[in-house]
Structure 1
Amino acid sequence: MLWLDERGFMARCAATLVVLVALSGCYRSAMGDDDDGASVEDGTAWLPPTAPAPLTPALDGAAGSLWAPTRLGSLRPELRWTAGPDDGLGPWSYDVQIDDSCETSNFADCGFPSPEASGSGIRETRWTPTIDLPVDTTPPVGRRYFWRIRGCRAEECTLWSLPRLLSVGRVPFDVNGDGYSDLAIGAMGLSIEALAEGGVLLFFGGPTGLAPTPDVVLVNPDHQESALFGSSVSAAGDVNADGFCDLIVGALGQNRGAENEGNAFLYLGSVDGPHSAPDVVLDNPENFEGGSFGISVAVVGDVDSDGYADIVIGTSPGGGLPTGHQESAFEYLGGAEGIRSTPDLVIRSPDWPAEMGDFGFGVAGAGDVNGDGYADVVIGASWAGSDGFWPGKAHVYYGGSGGLRSSPDVTLEDPDPGNGFQFGDSIALGDVDGDGYADVVVGARVQDEPSLHVGSVFVFAGGKSGVARTPRGRIDNPLTYLFGDDVAAGDLDRDGDDEVVVGGADVVFVYDGSPDGIVSDSSTTLDDPTPTLACGTHWTFGFVGDVNADGFTDLAMGYLDPSGTSYEPHSVCVYLGRSGEVDPVPAIVL
């Protein structure tokens, strides 16, 4: 392969060495070539242009339901990638291939033997197939595809990029594989055979949305009193790559050797939904009293890019730590058989032992902040600090070939730490500016500027070099207090820029994303539309995929018994996504 460098000299990599040295470079010289990698004349290493990197859809991104309106093109997903270097050597064009014949177990080595769609000579950094990609119409509907990209100039092309996974005709949160997102609601105060043993209410999506009564009720498998099964719930990925979304449930008060140590339970999806009994029981790996393992659970995407979704589970020993223990979070890697019952990695608080910062209380994932093809994870430590003052932190861990590392790659801190604390109490990942890199949204609910405990939210931009340490955007409380108690990010209006949803004490606000970042001076207010709906206080919320397959992401929000005497959900309101601003009146009330 020949490349002309910027001085007009010809550099050559032997074909047999291209794969081995594509990242480490060849040597160049006005005197000639050196195929064995020895230094020549000036000994200067020259790197041939590397392949463009896939950007969107996100890692194993769901392109949309096959039942969505044809005009929205869910079977013709738009692909985006990074541009070739602007080095003055001429314009780039791009070739792209999409293939469904790669095996998940070794897709990185796939040669794309029979692409269903391809394009060549593309001048832009985006492309859409001209045909509907074939998908399955019986559960699990849709199909997993793989796509790759290369850049070309003159008669030469780069190597192909590593393949990126793409789910066509599918939506997230679809545990029964019918093409409609489902809604799982934690009811940790539910009492069936034991007081506050907990449960999870699962509502299947459909053409009209969600039915008023749950289709499945998962109960605590041990029926333990005060186990609080359902204290956390996550259903955003497929840990065994069988086409069904899987469900992870935390029970922070569960006892299995130590009181209130906490457990978590994995339920694999199927055509009938999850089984009544968990497929995997995850005991607190450190089995200490009050560990609250499972206070946060998250299917965080594919952190090792092997084609299987992975899980991170946090602890929050609010009563203090026994001697010899640390605040921790635990990584479980997916695989063809699901996950193992023991963690693949223990992530210790980087602030320990100097600080006890509630590390692991919140975990967020399923986004790629640096565009390297590996999902990244954010773990909050909202009480991290010293000298009796706890401004809080959010630690960012980049994914890699072996999964997450045990120490953070970036630590985000409150840019105004003298005016409040609990930065990191709520965290979310989303692409607010639509550039293909996930951004980090961090709530600081007791920020004291401009007045006591009003709260603020900060947005830290992702990019090729990772997440920025200085916030690109800040949203200050427009109305109430404890603003930033909860945050979420998702694209309600299908414009390519994620909205940011922020909860306060009594009101929830929706802020638009834009190419310039968050639009902080304008928002839609979602409050209690009528006293009879009781949907307005003590919110918890999240994006739930597309429950009615209309092509738009939806938002579900709920809160606890308004009397404050029960942990049972009082009501859940679902706001359907649409073009333009979200309707402040919920379309569905459960």
Structure 2
Amino acid sequence: MQKRAWLAMGLLAAGLPAAGMGCKDGDPCGPDLVESEDGTRCVCPNGMEPLPGDRCPAEGDDAGPVTVDAGTDAMLPLDSGVDATAPSDAGPLPDAPTLRWPWNGYRTGSLHAAADAPLRVHPLRPRFRWEPQDDAASFELQVEDSCGRDFRSCDFESPEATVTTTTTDVTLEEALPVSTEPPVGRRYHWRVRACRTDGLCGAWSEVRYLDVGRTTNDFDGDGYADLVVMRDGVGIHVYPGSVDGPPSVPSVTRDETWFSADGRGDVNGDGFDDLLAHVDGIYEGTARDVGEQQLLLGSADGLSIVEEERFSFPGRDGVEAALGDVNADGFSDVLVGRPRVGGSDEGGLQIYFGSPSGPSSLPDVELGSSTPEASAGSVVEASGDLDGDGIVDALVAASGTQSVFWAAGSREDGGFALTLLSDFSSEIGELRDVRAGDRNQDGYADAFVSMDGEGAAIWIIEGGRGLESPATERAPLEGLGSIAVDDWNGDGADDVLGRTGENGQVLLGGPLNESEHVSWLAEDAAFADLNGDGFPDLLVGRTRDMNPSTARGIVRAIRGGRDLDGASVDWLLRNPLTMEAVAPNNFGVLPR
């Protein structure tokens, strides 16, 4: 009853007549409607208002659910979301809307954020956007939490939220219910349809999914990002997040030959983030950089560190790999760069699809570059939708030709292809990193490209519908070996960490004219919401800190928020190996 009332209020607020409520005083109701008890309007036989899309059964009708045709007051069978056959003189029903934001797999942020946190969008009150259309007088948005794996055909039997609006940009006013036990948060699905002034609506849009109340790198599912710090090829340390941030002493220390990692995906869809780590090359005879990727699954107890419970992808020469749902099936996929495949190091990309049982053992998709010595796959990224189709796309750096390729996400195995996105071969510098994020709040992910060396710079490739002829803009920052992208100040636009001179600089999202000085220069960088307040915290790692007393590496964490202070250090993590005789061992390498 409460959800129906919400919808009715939305229709009246928009100045639209609800079906069956247009009867004039004294006029008889139609054959399948009855007069309300107070005699003021026509209602269904069960007393409910015949609102668009409601399933209102007619007496003696065995045909199943029915709805009301506002033009004739007749009860008609309900089909795939279209209210009813339009009156012959009313014109066609509106087209199905084209969705824009959020894309499939988007995380809204930690459920622990305070209800009055100064965030542009609260994690439990998500924002939804779609394209305007001339044939619509209003729109109906539905948000559902029980669609299951086959969500594309979900019929939204009991939507948690239903909003009728005349805008194409809606932020929910009420918090969505989520689990407060690991894994915290909840997966929701959403769809939109367009309606005419008479209340009749067209077909529903596609269905997309998002994870509400969840943040990235949360391996134990408690709503706080966990921090994995690597000693470059020597060992790892795990620091669990909490309301007070990370502890000064790691909960897990283990010898591992990891050189990079990505903790922004859930490969088996159990609600816990998994960690993909790269083990560097092993030289045997004439083999070059064999290496492998190892996937560690998250759980309520944290990462499964034991080797027997890992997924491995042996014999791959991937310099880096990434996690992301590039086929929009609800499971993160494993993307492995192959920069040395091909007769002339053309390079390429392998994709292993996720599933409830984990990733496939053999690559489901193999893509290759046709450019000799391109070394495509030196860096891989899969965290944003650049072309606006709702599916996360893959960004693939080609260090040999100083260029960036992309592989558009696709629901079809044969729908993937490596396509040149931007060529930086005329620039002086070395292409080092590629990240994705929406810096201008237009609903499309942008690509951030880091160039290091003499021509150090950060370039921004703007995303857009179809990603045709994207604009490329140079940011007023120098590149780093690793850049970080996230919404540090919670204003809804992603920010990027770069360098100006000897110190770091965070370029705030929006126009390229605002930035925040960071007193600490990073060799490695990342964002993660360590204390669950809804603001990602900035992590800067230096594997060889200049202070002699901390020469074994250090990680500084700077709290996110609306009032940023890049000179502060809120959490300081030192190399836990404190033996005086130990040589510097590169503590400070951070996952994405």
TM-score tier (shorter)? 0.7 to 0.9
1:506 and 1:50, CA in 2 relative to 1: closer, same or farther beyond 3 A?
farther
In structure 1, the partner of 2:423 is: 413
Identity, in percent, stands at 29
SS of the residue corresponding to residue 151 of structure 2 reads: helix
Q: Which amino acid aligns with 2:456?
A: G
- Shift of residue 418, structure 1, vs aligned partner: 3.9
How many angstroms apart in 2 are the aligned matches of 1:502 and 1:55?
29
1:158 to 202, 209, 215: 202
How many angstroms apart in 2 are the aligned matches of 1:485 and 1:562?
16
Q: 1:213-248 CA deviation, whole Å, 9 max, x = no partner?
A: 21223443xxxxxxxx22111000111110100111
1:163 and 1:217, CA in 2 relative to 1: closer, same or farther beyond 3 A?
farther
In structure 2, the partner of 1:445 is: 452
- Shift of residue 470, structure 1, vs aligned partner: 3.1
Contact 1:203–1:213 (8 Å) recurs in 2: yes
> Is 1:203 equivalent to 2:247 in the alignment?
no
1:266 to 295, 317, 338: 295
In structure 2, the partner of 1:397 is: 407
In structure 2, the partner of 1:282 is: 312
Q: 1:391-422 CA deviation, whole Å, 9 max, x = no partner?
A: x11001110112585532442113xx544243
In structure 2, the partner of 1:389 is: none
In structure 1, the partner of 2:182 is: 139
> Is 1:475 equivalent to 2:475 in the alignment?
yes
Contact 1:462–1:468 (8 Å) recurs in 2: no
1:381-396 map, 5 Å:
381-384=398-401, 392-396=402-406
How many angstroms apart in 2 are the aligned matches of 1:323 and 1:564?
46
How many angstroms apart in 2 are the aligned matches of 1:77 and 1:338?
31
> Is 1:328 equivalent to 2:348 in the alignment?
yes
- Shift of residue 128, structure 1, vs aligned partner: 3.2
Q: Which amino acid aligns with 2:194?
A: G
1:119-518 map, 5 Å:
119-120=163-164, 122-155=165-198, 156-190=200-234, 199-220=235-256, 229-254=257-282, 260-278=289-307, 279-285=309-315, 291=317, 293=318, 295-299=319-323, 301-317=324-340, 326-351=346-371, 355-384=372-401, 392-402=402-412, 405-414=415-424, 417-422=425-430, 424-446=431-453, 453-466=454-467, 468-471=469-472, 473-477=473-477, 483-503=479-499, 506-514=502-510, 517=511
Q: Which amino acid aligns with 2:524?
A: T
How many angstroms apart in 1 are the aligned matches of 2:504 and 2:493?
19
Q: Which amino acid aligns with 2:494?
A: D
Contact 2:292–2:315 (8 Å) recurs in 1: no
How many angstroms apart in 2 are the aligned matches of 1:54 and 1:79?
12
SS of the residue corresponding to residue 152 of structure 2 reads: helix
Q: Which moves more between the two structures, 276-285 or 202-211?
A: 276-285
Contact 1:145–1:166 (8 Å) recurs in 2: yes
SS of the residue corresponding to residue 376 of structure 2 reads: coil
Contact 1:49–1:84 (8 Å) recurs in 2: no
RMSD: 3.1
SS of the residue corresponding to residue 248 of structure 1 reads: strand
Unmatched 5+ stretches in structure 2: 1-75, 83-87, 574-592
Q: Which has the higher contact order (CA 8 A, sep 6+)?
A: 2
How many angstroms apart in 2 are the aligned matches of 1:166 and 1:456?
33
In structure 1, the partner of 2:543 is: 560
- Shift of residue 131, structure 1, vs aligned partner: 3.0
Contact 2:132–2:168 (8 Å) recurs in 1: no
Q: TM-score, normalised by structure 2?
A: 0.75
Q: Which amino acid aligns with 1:206?
A: S
> Is 1:526 equivalent to 2:512 in the alignment?
no
2:159 to 105, 111, 115: 115
- Shift of residue 71, structure 1, vs aligned partner: 1.6
How many angstroms apart in 2 are the aligned matches of 1:373 and 1:442?
22
- Shift of residue 585, structure 1, vs aligned partner: 1.9
How many angstroms apart in 2 are the aligned matches of 1:409 and 1:157?
39
Q: Which amino acid aligns with 1:429?
A: A
In structure 2, the partner of 1:450 is: none
Q: 1:171-226 CA deviation, whole Å, 9 max, x = no partner?
A: 11110000111112222332xxxxxxxx3222110010001121223443xxxxxx
Q: 1:271-328 CA deviation, whole Å, 9 max, x = no partner?
A: 0111122434333456xxxx3x3x21211x21111011112112444xxx78587522
How many angstroms apart in 1 are the aligned matches of 2:277 and 2:197?
54
Contact 1:492–1:582 (8 Å) recurs in 2: no
SS of the residue corresponding to residue 351 of structure 2 reads: strand
In structure 1, the partner of 2:63 is: none
Q: TM-score, normalised by structure 1?
A: 0.75
Q: Which moves more between the two structures, 55-64 or 246-255?
A: 55-64
> Is 1:67 equivalent to 2:96 in the alignment?
no
- Shift of residue 361, structure 1, vs aligned partner: 1.1
- Shift of residue 562, structure 1, vs aligned partner: 4.6
Equivalenced residues, count? 483
Q: Which amino acid aligns with 1:178?
A: D
Q: Which moves more between the two structures, 324-333 or 394-403?
A: 324-333
How many angstroms apart in 2 are the aligned matches of 1:114 and 1:256?
59
